[in-house]
Amino acid sequence: MQNKNPLPFLVWMLCGCLVLVSLACGRGDRQSQTLTIAGSTSVQPFAEKLAEVYMKQCPGLLINVQGGGSSAGIMAVQQGAAQIGASSRELHGEEKKLHEAVIAWDGIAVIVHPSCPLDNISLTTLRQIFAGEIKDWAALGLKPHGMHVITREEGSGTRTAFEELVMDRREISPTALVQDSNGAVREIVAHDPHAIGYISCGLVDQQVKALAIEGVLPTGANIKKNLYKLTRRFLFVTAQQPAGLAQEFCAFVLSPQGQILLEKEGLIGVH
């Protein structure tokens, strides 16, 4: 009798596996009702907001917003894992074959602790700070203290844009601290009076102070008039000319309602 016991066990296990597999397949059928947006962590909070409003208007539709970064989002679109890729950097090389739609403009704000007396910074000084040439606040006429420079990880859309707009082909110093999201950079700057970092303008809040660049504050009006120097584009990337759900969602984002929503969240509309 004892020999018999393992067999039913194995049969049950096989059944279990089959059920799991069929469940996994079942998910595929519902995909037609699901729109997946993957990509930049800078775009993610805005995409989530848009998705939330759009899902309320279209019951039964599920919009899945994932982070992972611009490159991951673009790759997801190339491989068909997501219908829309959100990118906070320009497409280059192979990626140019994809279809891009500009959904909004965003400024990159240079942020410091609210207690920092600094209000304005020049592009050159900013470059020297991030290149590691200026290491002490004393160089800016403040109380001497080591500067804690915070940057984003290599490949991040915000970092790529910052390098293009500020660094002038210089490299960001290897001694700079590296954080993997806008939120993490803001969190550190909010608690460290000697830190300086950069994040998407839309994510600046009262915890940190955004500096004026060459005398121009990163306000919506200044970005719109193209006065603020550190400005970049937010893209929705699709495999071809968007169709179906992706097209409907893109149309919603570019509609006055979608654009007003983005502006309310701190971005600058395309119209």
Partner 1 sequence: MLTREKLIEKALLLLALSAIGSLALITIFIFLEGLPIILKTGVSHFIFGAHWAPTKGHFGILAMILSSLYVTLGALIFGVPLALACAIILAEFAPASLTKILKPTIELLAGIPSVVYGFLGVVLLVPLIRSYLGGPGLSLLAAAMILGIMILPTVISISIDAMNAVPALYREGSIALGATQWQTVRKLVLPAARSGIITAIILGMGRAIGETMAVIMVAGNALSIPTSILDSVRTLTANIALELGYASGAHREALFATGIVLFIIIMILNSAATLIAGRK
Give the CA distances from residue 63 to residues 53, 73, 92, 145, in Å, rounded to whole numbers and listed in that order: 10, 15, 27, 47
Residues within window 170-189 making contact with partner 1, judged by CB under 8 A: 171, 173-180, 187-188
Closest approach of Cβ 154 to partner 1, in Å? 6
Residue of the chain from 114, 117, 146, 183 that contacts partner 1 (CB under 8 A): 146
Cβ at position 225, least distance to partner 1 in Å: 31
Q: Is 190 in the site for partner 1 (CB under 8 A)?
A: no
Task: Based on the shown chain and the rule CB under 8 A, indicate whether residue 91 belongs to the binding site for partner 1.
Answer: no
Residue 71 has φ and ψ, to the nearest 5°, of -60, -40
97 binds partner 1 (CB under 8 A): no
The per-residue b/e assignment along 184-207, b for 16 or more CB within 10 angstroms, e otherwise, is: bbbbbbbeeebbbbbbbbbbbeee
Strand partners, 99: 238
Q: What is the pairing mode between strands 84-87 and 195-200?
A: unpaired
Which of 2, 10, 30, 141 contacts partner 1 by CB under 8 A?
10
CA pair distance 201, 218, nearest whole angstrom = 7
Q: How many CB atoms lie under 10 A from the CB of residue 90?
A: 16
Q: Which of 44, 83, 156, 182 binds partner 1 (CB under 8 A)?
A: 156
Tell which residue, 241, 238, 235, 201, has the closest CA to residue 220: 201
**Does 237 help bind partner 1 (rule: CB under 8 A)?**
no
Count residues binding partner 1 (CB under 8 A): 36
CB 142, CB 113: distance < 8 Å? no
197 binds partner 1 (CB under 8 A): no
211 with 195: CB under 8 angstroms? no
Instruction: Select the span of 1-9, 25-33, 122-130, 225-233 touching partner 1 (CB under 8 A).
Output: 1-9
In 3D space, the residue among 97, 100, 107 whose CA is nearest the CA of residue 85 turns out to be 100
Our CB check for partner 1 shows the closer of 111 and 188 to be 188
Distant-in-sequence, close-in-space partners of 149: CB < 8 Å, separation ≥ 6: 129, 130, 132, 173, 175, 176, 177, 195, 196, 197
For the bound state, the minimum distance from the C-beta of residue 98 to partner 1, rounded and expressed in Å, comes to 13
Q: Is position 220 an interface residue for partner 1 (rule: CB under 8 A)? A: no
Indicate which single residue of 52, 136, 153, 168 sits in contact with partner 1 (rule: CB under 8 A): 153
Kindly tell me which of 125 and 173 has the beta carbon lying closer to partner 1.
173
Check binding of 37 to partner 1 (CB under 8 A). no
Contact segment (CB under 8 A) with partner 1 among 61-69, 108-116, 135-143, 261-269 equals: 61-69
Closest alpha carbon to 88 in 152, 42, 47, 154 = 42
Q: Which residues bind partner 1 (CB under 8 A)?
A: 3-4, 6-7, 10, 67-72, 74-75, 146, 148, 153-157, 160, 171, 173-180, 187-188, 191-192, 194-195
